[in-house]
Structure 1
């Protein structure tokens, strides 16, 4: 079943860390079966905390999504994300 990950950026703390994260995160997806459905387009927050940016990724299934998220390449990338910004990350399955 298709699985989606939503990354909601709420606040940038250190721009240089986010630049490094963006480079490493993109590289961590190479060779994987994943589609970027939304990548930091215009955002209008209708409810909840203000969002500065949103990414929506589609994976073939939950196992592939978690394999990427917990894999060494993305763990390295997300260490920079943790230093550079406040995010919410949500994973959910489609129907």
Structure 2
């Protein structure tokens, strides 16, 4: 079942530290079956607190998502993200079939 990793950047804390995250995270994706569905595009927050950015990544299954997230390369990139910005980062399972009705 398809799994999505969703990340929302709530607030940048250290722009210099955060600048190191993007290139490191991109390199960490090499060899992993990641399909970006949304990547820091235009945001229109309909409810809740404003966010600075959002990403939605698709993986073929939970094991693939965890293999990427837990990889040494992404964990090293993650350190820059944690120093540079406040994020909400979560994984959600897709649906096999849309609900009826």
Q: Is TM-score (shorter-chain normalized) higher than 0.5?
A: yes
Which position in structure 1 is the counterpart of 2:98?
none
Question: Looking at CA atoms only, which structure, 1 or 2, has the larger radius of gyration?
Answer: 2
Which position in structure 1 is the counterpart of 2:85?
85
Q: Counterpart of 1:83 in 2: which secondary structure?
A: helix
Unaligned 5+ segments in structure 1 are none
After the TM superposition, list the runs of 4 or more consecutive aligned residues in structure 1 that deviate by more than 4 angstroms.
none
Work out the CA distance in 1 between the residues paired with 2:53 and 2:64: 24
Unaligned 5+ segments in structure 2 are 96-101
How far 1:44 sits from its partner (Å)? Answer: 1.3
Matches within 5 A, 1:9-88: 9-88=9-88
State the superposition RMSD in angstroms: 0.7
Superimposed CA distance per residue, residues 19-55 of structure 1 (whole angstroms, 9 cap, x where no aligned partner): 1000100000012111011000011111122111000
TM-score of the two chains, using structure 1 as the length reference: 0.96
TM-score of the two chains, using structure 2 as the length reference: 0.91
* Aligned length, in residue pairs: 95
